Structure 1
Amino acid sequence: MVDWTDAERSAIVGLWGKISVDEIGPQAVARLLIVSPWTQRHFSTFGNLSTPAAIMGNPAVAEKLHVDPDNFRESITVCVAAMLGPTVFSADTQEAFQKFLAVVVSALGRQYH
């Protein structure tokens, strides 16, 4: 069980109101594939992943994936921070978001096989 402070709850709810999952998801996958090219071996069915442009233009990058969600924690955080900027994604907000992602990754990771 995770204990949330009122400030953490407020930060998480506030972030979700500003995040577009349809944008962040593909951006996080693309970032993972570009920054960590060795992860591309897990996505051989995606076709051309040879360059950042090919990755960003690849429609398969937006697909629902069945991989360990912990691989995307850093990518998601970077994409959210880039989208919202330091004024909205402050240190306190990032701390609450990281705590939230840890809970989500733990819950989803239990489904991972």
Structure 2
Amino acid sequence: MVEWTDDERAAINTIFSKLDYDSVGPEALSRCLIVYPWTQRYFGGFGNLYNAEAIMCNPMIAAHGTLVLHGLDRALKNMDDIKNTYAALSELHSEKLHVDPDNFRLLADCLVVVIAGRMGYEFSPDMQAAFAKFLSVVVSALGRQYH
């Protein structure tokens, strides 16, 4: 079980309160697919992903990026039980979609980069540490069902 300080909870809630889900989610997922092109293999049904421009303009990628970011709301609302909150989603990604669990970490890293770029100096080292801890717990929970 993860212990959260009041400052960590406040920092994470501050970040989420400032997020524009419809732009941050798509940008983070697009960045992940561009920087780590092997992650694209899970998006074969999403149409043209042949270059960075095609990925950034792909409406299915944008929609999925927004969906993923909204999925983090579940962790935000259940910070004391993230592991069980994501049990079914972990099973889906493991058993049905066969997603490489390391992709969750890569996407989390891209999300930090995008948020840091959006928030600038307001994204303090303490805020980054709290958010990195939060994402680490989410990534661990999503990878839990893998054998």
- Bin for the TM-score computed over the shorter chain: 0.7 to 0.9
- In structure 2, distance between residues paired with 1:19 and 1:108: 22
- In structure 2, distance between residues paired with 1:4 and 1:41: 35
Contact 1:28/1:75 (<8 A) preserved: yes
Matched, 1:93 2:136: no
State the match for 1:80 in structure 2: 115
- In structure 1, distance between residues paired with 2:143 and 2:21: 19
Deviation at residue 112 of structure 1 after TM alignment: 6.6
Name the TM-score, length of structure 2 as normaliser. 0.67
Matched, 1:27 2:21: no
Name the TM-score, length of structure 1 as normaliser. 0.84
State the match for 2:84 in structure 1: none
- Structure 2 gaps of 5+ residues are 69-92, 94-98
RMSD: 2.1
State the match for 2:13 in structure 1: 13
Q: Given residue 78 of structure 1, which amino acid in structure 2 is its aligned partner?
A: V
Contact 1:29/1:75 (<8 A) preserved: yes
- In structure 1, distance between residues paired with 2:110 and 2:116: 10
Residue by residue over 1:18-39, the C-alpha shift from the partner in whole angstroms, topping out at 9 and shown as x without a partner, is 0122222211110011111222
Contact 1:34/1:52 (<8 A) preserved: yes
Query: Percent of counterpart pairs with the same letter?
Result: 53
- In structure 2, distance between residues paired with 1:13 and 1:54: 33
Aligned pair count reads: 112
- Structure 1 gaps of 5+ residues are none
